[in-house]
A and B are shown apart, each in its own frame.
Chain A
Amino acid sequence: QKEVEQNSGPLSVPEGAIASLNCTYSDRVSQSFFWYRQYSGKSPELIMSIYSNGDKEDGRFTAQLNKASQYVSLLIRDSQPSDSATYLCAVVTRQLTFGSGTQLTVLP
């Protein structure tokens, strides 16, 4: 079992819709969770950090964490074409471990 797993996608949503990205992790003691956005040809950019169970909102982005289910998700409301990118889930195990990413395309 991989330490951090994401649906590879690709995921396509129409402009204005909610995009839902999911991630599961295997290490029960993990305490820090992150979402990164990576545009094609660019380096990953940190967009959300979450450390406690529940929801954390920042603008159009909401991160959700459920430690009992070992599950973290990212919701993007009112999706825009500029949100089209690969989204990487990252979890602290012995070091920061990344999932393989979900490619999101927002269709105009």
Chain B
Amino acid sequence: KAGVTQTPRYLIKTRGQQVTLSCSPISGHRSVSWYQQTPGQGLQFLFEYFSETQRNKGNFPGRFSGRQFSNSRSEMNVSTLELGDSALYLCASSWGISGGERSYEQYFGPGTRLTVT
């Protein structure tokens, strides 16, 4: 079974620009979560989507947004990029509430490395 895929893998943007990252979950998984990982802050939760609805949101400014499509694929967008947005952005998929005990077993994609200059 194919794993979680993320595109692009690497991205270099200039401060003030915007960026859209894409995530395709494992087949059958209906929940997608996004995380930001930096050396100083570790894994920080951005948001979680299930069946096209945002279920939870982390403590990030409104410049960070996301959405999920009917096929469970998800995108996140960051507008007005700042230098501090340089990070590894990780997407993880899981069964969601339909998965019983395994609902929250999350499987990560390879990540998108964003560099803001």
- B42 cross-chain contacts in A, Cβ below 8 A: 98-101
Contact residue among B43, B88, B109 (Cβ-Cβ distance under 8 Å from A98): B43
Interface residues of A in 29-74 (CB under 8 A from B): 32, 34, 36, 42-46, 49, 51
A-B contacts at CB below 8 angstroms, number: 47
Q: Which of B11-19, B67-75, B98-106 contacts A (4 or more CB under 8 A)?
A: B98-106
- A90 cross-chain contacts in B, Cβ below 8 A: 106
What DSSP secondary structure best describes chain B's contact surface? strand
Interface status of B45 (Cβ within 8 A of chain A):
yes
Q: How far is the CA of A86 from the CA of B43 in the complex (A)?
A: 12
Minimal Cβ-Cβ distance residue in B for A34: B105
Give me 26 A-to-B residue pairs in the complex whose CB atoms sit less than 8 angstroms apart, sorted by A's number.
A32-B101, A34-B105, A36-B108, A42-B110, A43-B88, A43-B90, A43-B109, A43-B110, A44-B108, A46-B108, A49-B102, A49-B105, A51-B101, A92-B104, A94-B56, A95-B33, A95-B48, A95-B55, A95-B56, A96-B33, A96-B45, A96-B92, A98-B42, A98-B43, A99-B42, A100-B42
Apart from A43-B88, A43-B109, A44-B90: 6 A-B pairs, beta carbons within 8 A: A36-B108, A43-B108, A43-B110, A43-B111, A96-B104, A98-B42
Q: How far is the CA of A36 from the CA of B108 in the complex (A)?
A: 10
Minimal Cβ-Cβ distance residue in B for A51: B101
Interface status of A88 (Cβ within 8 A of chain B):
yes
Interface status of A97 (Cβ within 8 A of chain B):
yes
- A96 cross-chain contacts in B, Cβ below 8 A: 33, 45, 92, 104, 106
Interface status of B107 (Cβ within 8 A of chain A):
yes
Q: Tell me whether A32 and B104 are in contact (CB under 8 A).
A: yes
- B107 cross-chain contacts in A, Cβ below 8 A: 46
